[in-house]
A and B are shown apart, each in its own frame.
Chain A
Amino acid sequence: MPEMNLRDAVSMGLREALDADDRVFILGEDIGEFKGPYAVTNGFLEQYGAERIIDSPISEAAMVGAGIGSALGGLRPIIEIMTINFMLLAMDQVVNHAAKLRYMSNGQIKVPMVIRTVTGGGGQLGATHSQSLEVWFATVPGLTVVAPSDPYDALGLIRSSIEDDDPVIFAEHALLYRIKGEVPDRHYTVPLGMAKVKRHGTDITLVAYSRMVHVALEAAEVLAERGVDAEVVDLRTLRPLDKETVVDSVRRTGKAVVVEEFWRTGGLAAEVASTIQEEAFDYLDGPVGRVGGVEVPAPYNGTLEAAALPNAARVVKYIEDLYGI
C-alpha cells in the first residue's frame, strides 16, 4: 500500500472529482496562481484551467454565497476558505442559507457544496488564526461536519463529501498536512457519520477527532506503560455524531474522557459526554471527563500556546486525577 501525506490525500480526492465530473469546480483565495495557501491545489490551475480553479477576491461571504448559488444552478462547488477563522465572515451564508435552503424549500432545492477549510492551533498564529470553530458548525441541523485525522480518512471522507448532495464542512488541521499514512490503491470511501476505533483497549475510552486523535493515541501509549489499556475512538465526523461507536466502546471500558482542541465550554466534548451519560450511564465507573483547550484566546508565544492546548501529558494527568489511575 502506498504511503502519502494528508495534503496529498486531499489533493488526490479533489483531482479525482475534477476529472470525473465537469460540474465540480473549486473557488477559493489564492488557490490558482499562488498554488494554494497550504499547497493543496498546487498545479490545479495549470491542469484544469481558470474556469474550474477560480481565484477569488478576499470575500468570504460572497464566496460561500456564490457556491450556494452555483449549487442551486446544478454545479458541485468546492469552496476553499483559507482558515476556519475566516468562516465567521461567511457564517450567515453557511448557517442561514446553505444549511436551510433544502428544508425551507421543502426539498425543491439542495446544496451539494463542500466547504474545505483549515482548522486548529499550534502554529503560533495568534488568537484570530488558531481556532477550532468546526464545533460551532456541528451544532447546526442541515450541515455535515467532517475532520479527518489521517490520510486514509482524508481521502475517503473527501470522496464521500463531494458525492454528498448536502453541504459539508470539511476541516483539515493545519498541523496534520504532513502526517503520513497508508492509502490503498483500490477505490474506497469512508462514509460520513461513522467513527472509527483507532486503538483497541479495555480499560478506558478516549474520544477525539482531528489532531487530538494523535494526542489521545500518545496518551494511550503512556497509559499502556502503566498497565492501563486505552481504547481511542476517532469521531471523524462531528455531525452527524456516531453515537453508537462511542457508546459501544464506553459500555465495554466503563470510563470515558473526551479530548478536543476547542474550548471546554460548550464544546463538542460536552455533547459527547452528555450522550455517554444518557446512553451508557449504568456502565460507567466514574464521571465522563473532558480535556479541552484552555479558556483563553490563543496566545502567540509558543510556550504559552502549548500551555493552552491539550497534549498527552495533560490528558494523562487529567485521567490520573479523575480516576486515580
Chain B
Amino acid sequence: MDLDYAQASAFYEQMLLIRRFEEQSGRLYMAGKIRGFLHLYIGQEAVAVGAMSALRSDDYIITHYRDHGHALARGMDPNIVMAELLGKATGSSGGKGGSMHLFDVSRGLMGGHAIVGAHLPIAVGLALSAKYKGEDRIAVCFFGDGAVNQGEFHEALNMASLWELPVLFFLENNLYGMGTHVEKAHAGGRDIFHGADAYRMPALQVDGMDIVDVREGTMRAVERIRSQGGPVLLEAMTYRFVGHSVQDPEAYRDSAEVDEYRERDPLVTFKDRCMKQGLISEDEAARIEDSVNDAVAEATRFAEESQEPSPESLYDNVIDASSTE
C-alpha cells in the first residue's frame, strides 16, 4: 500500500464523512425532513473517494443519482449538500435540484443525473469540448450496472471510442439495478467490463471495496487517457449495504449476502490495514471520528436553520416562465 500518513488519514476521513453523512441523511428522511427519493451510498464509499483521489481539479465529473458520495469526495461542502437534501435556499441548487441532482460547477461536478444511462452521452460531450479546445482535462462518468443495458451506454461508448475522446467510463457495479440482479439483466454476465472490447476500448476491473485498488486502477486509466487519448472503461465491483432507496424493503436479496459483503466493509478493512502498517494511530482514528461527527452535525444544523427558498425563486433560471403564467 503506497500511501503516506496524510493520504491514509485523508482517505479514511473522506470515506467516514460519506458514511456518517449518509447515515444521518437516512435518519432525516425517516424524520420527514428529507423527502422524495433518497439513495444512499453506504458500502460504496471506497469507489468515489479512491477515484476522486486520482483526478485533477480541472477534470469533469458527471454522475448518477446516487451522488452524495461523489459530491462529498469531490470536496463539496457538506453543509451545502445537506441543505439541498432538505430543499433549502442555501442548498447547491437552491432547493430546486434535490438529492439526485447535485451540481458544483466550480469543482467540475456537472451533476447528478437521474435518468439511468442518460448522462453517458453528456460525458461524451464534455470530453468533446475538452478535445475541441485542446485541453487535456478528461471527463469522468460514474454510472451503475443498470445503465449498461440502456442504448445510450452503447451509443456513448461507440462515439467516445470512434472519436478518441478523453472519457473515463466509471462503472460502479453493485450487482443490482434497483432490485434486479445483474445476472438477470445483462446477457454478458456480471463482469461487464469485457463489453468494452466491442468498441475496441481498453477496460479494467478493480475491487471497489478496496480504496487502494480503486485509486491505482483509476490512476492507470487516467494515465492512459491523458497520454494516448481515447476512452477507458473501468469497472469497480462494489456493493451497497442498504436498500436501493430508503424505502426499499430489500425483498430481492438475502440478508446473508449483505452480511457477507459487510465483512468486507471498505472503511473497516482500510482502517485496519492502515493501523497495522502504522499509517493511522488510535488517536488519529479518534480525531477523525470526532471531526466527521462534528461536520455532519454542523451540516444538519446549517440545513435545518437555513431558509426555505423564496416563492419567487420558483421562476428563476428557466426561460420564458413569465410568458406562461
Contacts and interface: CB of A to CB of B under 8 A. Distances in A.
A74 B319 CA distance: 19
Interface in B3-47: none
Contacts of A193: 320, 323
Given A62-B121, A142-B318, A240-B324, A105 B111 contact: yes
Interface string B93-133: 11011000101110000110101001111111111111011
A69 to B, nearest CB: 2
Contacts of B228: none
B159 A66 contact: yes
A117 B23 CA distance: 48
Nearest to A58: B155
B126 A104 contact: no
Given A65-B152, A97-B119, A141-B320, 4 more contacts: A61-B155, A62-B158, A69-B123, A70-B125
B129 A57 contact: no
Interface stretch (A5-13, A33-41, A106-114): A106-114
B316 interface: yes
B256 interface: no
Considering residues A51, A62, A240, A243, which has the most beta carbons from chain B within 10 angstroms of its beta carbon?
Answer: A62
Contact of A104 (B111, B125, B155, B162): B111
A66 B318 CA distance: 21
21 contacts: A57-B158, A57-B162, A59-B158, A61-B152, A62-B155, A65-B124, A66-B121, A66-B125, A69-B62, A69-B125, A69-B128, A70-B132, A73-B60, A75-B128, A92-B118, A93-B122, A97-B119, A104-B97, A106-B92, A108-B104, A109-B105
A73 B319 contact: no
Contacts of B132: 25, 51, 70, 73, 75
B121 A61 contact: yes
B129 A69 contact: yes
Contacts, number: 156
Interface string A52-73: 0010110101111111111111
A97 B158 contact: no
Nearest to A102: B317
Contacts of A51: 132
Contact of A105 (B93, B115, B125, B320): B93
A106 B115 CA distance: 19
Nearest to B137: A73
A222 B136 CA distance: 64
Contacts of B139: 69
B198 interface: no
Nearest to B153: A62
Report the 9 A-B pairs with minimum CB-CB distance, sorted nearest first: A69-B125, A65-B121, A73-B129, A62-B155, A240-B320, A66-B125, A105-B103, A69-B122, A106-B93
Interface string A86-130: 000000110011000111111111000000000000000000000
Contact of B318 (A77, A141, A241): A141
Contacts of A61: 118, 121, 151-152, 155
Interface of B: 60, 62, 92-94, 96-97, 101, 103-105, 110-111, 113, 115, 118-130, 132-133, 139, 151-152, 155-156, 158-159, 162-163, 316-321, 323-324
Interface of A: 25, 51, 54, 56-57, 59, 61-75, 77, 92-93, 96-97, 101-109, 141-144, 166, 193, 239-241, 243
B322 to A, nearest CB: 9
A243 B319 CA distance: 16
Given A70-B128, A70-B129, A241-B323, A103 B118 contact: no
A239 B324 CA distance: 9
Contacts of A57: 155, 158-159, 162
Given A57-B159, A64-B121, A109 B129 contact: no
B320 A239 contact: yes
B320 A96 contact: no
Given A103-B318, A105-B93, A74 B129 contact: yes
B115 A73 contact: no
Nearest to A67: B125
Given A62-B121, A65-B152, A73 B126 contact: yes
A67 B129 CA distance: 9
A77 B128 CA distance: 11
A93 B316 CA distance: 22
B83 to A, nearest CB: 12
A68 B125 contact: yes
A64 B103 CA distance: 20
A9 B115 CA distance: 37
A141 B126 CA distance: 24
A243 B323 contact: yes
A141 B304 CA distance: 31
A106 B159 contact: no
A92 B124 CA distance: 16
